[in-house]
Amino acid sequence: MAVGSILDVIGGTPSVWLDRMVRARGLEGRILAKLDYLNPGFSKKDRAAKGIIEEAEASGALRPGQTVVELTSGNMGTGLAIVCGIRGYPFVAVMSRGNSVERARMMAALGAEVVLVDQVAGSVPGEVSGADLAEVDRVARQVAADRDAFRADQFERSGNAAAHFATTGPELWADSDESLTAFADFAGSGGTFAGTIRALRARDPGIRGYLVEPQGAAVLSGAAAQAPGHPIQGGGYAMPDLSLLQGVQADGFLQVSGEQARQATRALAREEGIFAGFSAGANVAAALDLLAGPQRGGVVGVVICDSGLKYLSTDLWG
């Protein structure tokens, strides 16, 4: 089937049962993994990028030919580079140098202007802290003001969660043959969790939703950030108030260490042939913990957020 542009193939990604991993650990139940690393930009953020731009066009918030600016860990920037390139908007991505270099190179290759922001004093390369993100946000705001640009603002724009409500949730439900009992997601902007769990609960109010956070930085659960530094790029910024999660009830909170995420990502590659990134590993590690605990015998849905190709320069594969 031929389509008119690359935007027409965003979403509709396949899902795979991780039965090998579950059996190898002697667990009861199933994990369904939606392979969003097969989106054109190799991540789930393609959905949100398309949703945000379409919403802004419909509302008139985005003018024809206007520059778009957004902070990113790399995935949203890649999605926006693709969407903006097709729709005719110049795009400026603002990213911390703490993120992997592959992401910046990919965004530039897709036509984005990439502004790299130095990490704050005390930050660890490869570990983007909440303070680092705040500095990136400051720079993004300044760039947007200087260029009279539209700020895509993935942490605030409802088009982010709306895209997952319209696509990710219904797809997971259908792909599971309407058997899901839970959904778990590593929180970045909160858009994937908010949109997906709302869509799933509209189909079965009994579905449980679990927010996944880094060990030591589980502020969404109400805990203090004891160790905000971690290697799981793309989320876990120790931000206790995520706008997109307002009014969305989580049934539980799970903590995953950087090492757990790393080992689960490597196991995904070896045991299931899925070459994913850090946050996908966090999701799968959390799902395995659920099958060992409150979801024993259940069916847990997760998203494979991005590709392992974006982490070749990190210790994920070292």
Could you give the residue numbers annotated as active site? 45, 279
| Ramachandran assignment for 10, one of left (phi > 0), alpha (psi -120 to 50 degrees), beta (any other) | beta
The residue among 69, 71, 67 whose CA lies nearest residue 96 is 71
272/252 Cα distance (integer angstroms) = 27
What the block records as the tokens of 28 is: 């009861």
- What sign has the CA pseudo-torsion 253, 257, 261, 267? negative
Q: Provide the CA 234 distance to its chain's centre, in angstroms.
A: 6
The structure tokens 């509302």 sit at: 59
| Sequence-ordered list of residues with C-beta below 8 angstroms from that of 37, at least 6 positions apart, any chain | 43, 274, 275, 276, 277, 280, 304, 305, 306, 307, 308
What the block records as the tokens of 126 is: 């490869």
Rg (CA), the chain: 18
94/134 Cα distance (integer angstroms) = 12
- Quick check: helix, strand or coil at residue 30? strand
Query: What is residue 9's DSSP assignment?
Result: G
Long-range CB pairs of 110-116 (<8 Å, 24+ gap) are 110/41, 110/78, 110/81, 110/82, 110/85, 111/81, 111/84, 111/85, 112/77, 112/80, 112/81, 112/84, 114/77, 115/139, 115/143
